[in-house]
Amino acid sequence: MTGAGSAAPAETAAKQNRFSARAFMGRFGAFIFLVALVVFFSILKPNSFPTPLNLFNIARQASISGLVAIGMTFVILTGGIDLSVGSLLALSGIVAAAVYKGGTGLLDTTAGETSGVGVGGAILIACLVGLAGGFAQGLTITKLKIPPFIVTLGGLSAFRGLTLLVGNGGPISAFDDNYKFLGQGRIGELVPIPVIIFLGAALIAHVILRYTQYGRYVYAVGGNPEAARLSGLNTGLIILSVYMIVGLMSGFGGYMLASRLNSAEAIAGVGLELTVIASVVIGGTSLFGGEGGVFGTVIGSLLVNVLTAGLTQLNVISYVQQIIIGLVIIFAVFFDRFTKARRS
Report the pLDDT value the prediction gives residue 107, as an integer from 0 to 100. 42
Virtual torsion, Cα 156, 277, 133, 107, nearest 10 deg: -50
- pLDDT-derived band at 1 (thresholds 50, 70, 90) equals very low
pLDDT tens-place string over residues 165-214: 998 888 988 888 899 999 999 988 788 999 999 999 999 999 999 999 99
- Kindly state whether residue 200 falls inside one of the protein's structural domains: yes
264: helix, coil or strand? Answer: strand
Alpha-helix runs per DSSP H in the chain: 2-17, 21-44, 52-77, 85-100, 118-144, 148-166, 177-184, 193-211, 213-223, 225-230, 235-261, 272-282, 294-313, 318-343
Average pLDDT over residues 2-16: 54
- Kindly state whether residue 208 falls inside one of the protein's structural domains: yes
pLDDT tens-place string over residues 29-62: 788 888 999 999 999 999 889 999 899 999 999 9
Count: domains in the chain: 1
- Kindly state whether residue 82 falls inside one of the protein's structural domains: yes
pLDDT tens-place string over residues 259-303: 999 999 989 999 899 889 989 988 889 888 888 899 999 999 999
- Kindly state whether residue 18 falls inside one of the protein's structural domains: no
Alpha-helix runs per DSSP H in 45-84: 52-77
**Comparing C-alpha atoms, which of 136, 167, 169 is closest to residue 152?**
136
- Kindly state whether residue 313 falls inside one of the protein's structural domains: no
d(CA 285, CA 77): 7
d(CA 29, CA 77): 19
Chain CA centroid to CA 50, Å: 25
Report the pLDDT value the prediction gives residue 85, as an integer from 0 to 100. 97
- Kindly state whether residue 338 falls inside one of the protein's structural domains: no
Average pLDDT over residues 102-123: 66
Containing structural domain, residue 187: 53-269
- Kindly state whether residue 275 falls inside one of the protein's structural domains: no
> Which residues is 190 bridged to in the sheet?
none
Report the pLDDT value the prediction gives residue 22, as an integer from 0 to 100. 64
79: helix, coil or strand? Answer: coil
- Kindly state whether residue 88 falls inside one of the protein's structural domains: yes
Model confidence, pTM: 0.88
- pLDDT-derived band at 109 (thresholds 50, 70, 90) equals very low
- pLDDT-derived band at 108 (thresholds 50, 70, 90) equals very low
Report the pLDDT value the prediction gives residue 12, as an integer from 0 to 100. 52
